[in-house]
Structure formats: C-alpha cells, structure tokens
C-alpha cells in the first residue's frame, strides 16, 4: 500500500434510495486535496454545509452510522466509508442532496466498482497512521459485545457474529491486507431478522428498504397472513421461506452476515480519520460499539500528540 496520501482519479456518481428515509438520493464523490480527509457536503441545504467523517461527529448509531455538524447531517455512511478507506482513498468530498447515503443493493459492491473504474491518484503528502500503543477495549457486557484493539505492525480485523440464532449460527470473518476487499467483503449485503421489520417500520425506518437490498432471516414459521403483509410491504407477489431465509435471493457467501458486519466495522473505524496499525478483535459488534471504539482511539491519539 502506498505511503503517500491518495484521492480518487475522477468524480463518481451514484443514485438510489436511502434505506431508512426512502428519499431519492444523488451523490457525487469528488477528488480532494491532501489532508482533507473524507468530508460530506449537503448540497441541498443553503450554504452547502459540511461534516467531516470523524468519530467526534457521530450522533446516532440506530441501524446505521449518522454524523452531524451544524445543519449538515448524513446517515448510513458506513458502506461508503468502508469502500473509500479500504480501497485506499484518503481524501474525498462527498456531495449529497439528501440526508442519507443511497443503500444500493445493501452492499458496497457498486461503490468499489466505481472506485476501481476511476482509479486512485497519489498526492504529495505522506499518509498518516496511528500505531496503537496499548490494548484498548470497549464492551457492552449485557449484550455480550466486545471490541479489542491491540498493537500490531499491520491492520487486521477478526470478527465473530453471534445472534443466538439457529438459522444464522455463529459466524466468523477476517480482514487483513491480503484479503481482496472488493471480491470478498464489499458484495456482502445488509440483513434483518423478520421479527424486526414491524418494529423498524413503526420507528419510521427502512422506508427505502426492499427485499432486494437485504437478507431477511426467518427464525420461526410464519402464517399466510404474515406472508401477505410482507408481500404488501415489499411490493412482491409471493414470498416463501427456504432454510430460514426469505427466498428472494441467494446468499453470496455462507457467512455473508459476518462479512457484512466486517464491512460495517471497517467503515466505522475509518472514522478515526487516519490509518490504524493494530489488530482488532470484535465479538458481536454493532455501530454503537464500533464508533465508540473509534472515539476511544481518537482520544488516545490526541493524548499522544499532546505529549
């Protein structure tokens, strides 16, 4: 990997729906100068306010990561962040005309394809790294959640996904620089348990959701009435259950759920704003734990710089 900072080779454009708002979104990712980092710009708001993609600006982690500064608020940024950061992009300005990044097919596949198409350009400035000096832990004991970051020469993530589900089981996923992110992690789609869908709808979420953009896990037999309701919500003529999943799609990997959680944590930890040299071990992580860990690392990094 280059020791110089980078940006994308040309602007790239995406259109789609926001997963939770259902808003139609147009988003353009633009090249940026060194030390700009990843910045989101709300072009639909007067003055086009910006919010840097940094842990200090995280305001919400309910079913996605939201950042906000002043009037600039953008949610569900994790898939795009993982794509930019893991594909090697240090600096970019993301112009967006809605409050949420488009969900695309529920994965980062479209993002990495466009980044690969336009390529990456080296800048003059040196890339910045944070060498983890000591073991850092964040845990939510009542949920069995734990993320540990330890000193290491290279960045790696070992992740365990466990939802006490007979369908999903206990799944594992791994990332280091030898893993082909574009082929093995980026295509992994978001997921939801069937029993969560009603609650999410009542909370005003997943307005832009569809069965094409999410794996739906079904742990219990469902009635014909429930099937009809699901078909109505997702505008489908017929839906069945096969091997514990709605039969609208096939899994891209046996452990696609763990790989998607890996995609999420890669995007959330990118909110540190610099590259990590450390080993991450994550048990049952989610956006809250991921972003809290990013904030802890940021605080540790700041204390080192202040010495």
CA 192 to chain centre: 15
Per-residue DSSP letter, 100: B
Give start and end residues of each alpha helix (H) in 177-270.
181-184, 194-202, 224-233, 256-269
Beta carbons within 8 Å of 299's beta carbon, 6+ residues apart: none
Strands (E), 244-302: 245-246, 275-283
Check 20, 248, 260, 287 and give the catalytic one.
Answer: 287
The packing angle between helices 256-269 and 78-86, to 10°, is 80
By C-alpha distance, which of 251, 6, 238, 227 is closest to 106?
Answer: 251
287 is catalytic: yes
| Assigned token pair, 79 | 């898939």
Cβ–Cβ < 8 Å for 42, 73: yes
Q: 217 and 165 in contact (C-beta within 8 Å)?
A: yes
Residues with a catalytic annotation lie at 287
């Amino acid at each position: 990997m280059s020791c110089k900072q980078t940006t994308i080779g040309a602007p790239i454009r995406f259109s789609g729906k926001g997963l939770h708002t259902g808003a139609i979104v147009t988003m353009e990712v633009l090249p940026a100068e060194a030390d700009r980092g990843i910045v989101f710009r709300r072009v639909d708001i007067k003055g086009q306010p910006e919010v840097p993609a940094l842990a200090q600006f995280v305001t919400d982690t309910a079913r996605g990561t939201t950042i906000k500064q002043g009037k600039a608020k953008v949610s569900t940024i994790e898939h795009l962040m993982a794509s930019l950061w893991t594909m090697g992009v240090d600096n970019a300005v993301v112009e967006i005309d809605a409050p949420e990044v488009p969900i695309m097919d529920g994965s980062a596949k479209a993002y990495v394809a466009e980044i690969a198409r336009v390529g990456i350009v080296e800048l003059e400035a040196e890339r910045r790294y944070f060498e983890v000096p000591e073991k850092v832990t964040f845990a939510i004991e009542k949920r069995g959640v734990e993320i540990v970051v330890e000193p290491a020469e290279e960045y790696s993530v070992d992740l365990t996904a466990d939802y006490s589900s007979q369908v999903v089981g206990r799944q594992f996923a791994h990332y280091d620089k030898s893993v082909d992110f574009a082929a093995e992690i980026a295509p992994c789609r978001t997921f939801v348990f069937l029993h969560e869908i009603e609650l999410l709808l009542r909370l005003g979420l997943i307005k832009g959701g569809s069965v094409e953009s999410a794996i739906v896990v079904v742990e219990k037999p469902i009635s014909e009435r429930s099937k009809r309701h699901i078909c109505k919500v997702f505008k489908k003529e017929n839906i069945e259950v096969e091997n514990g999943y709605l039969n609208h799609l096939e899994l891209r990997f046996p452990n696609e759920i763990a790989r998607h959680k890996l995609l999420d944590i890669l995007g959330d930890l990118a909110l540190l704003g610099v590259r990590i040299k450390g080993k991450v071990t994550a048990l049952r992580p989610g956006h809250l734990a991921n972003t809290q860990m990013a904030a802890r690392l940021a605080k540790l990094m700041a204390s080192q710089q202040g010495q």
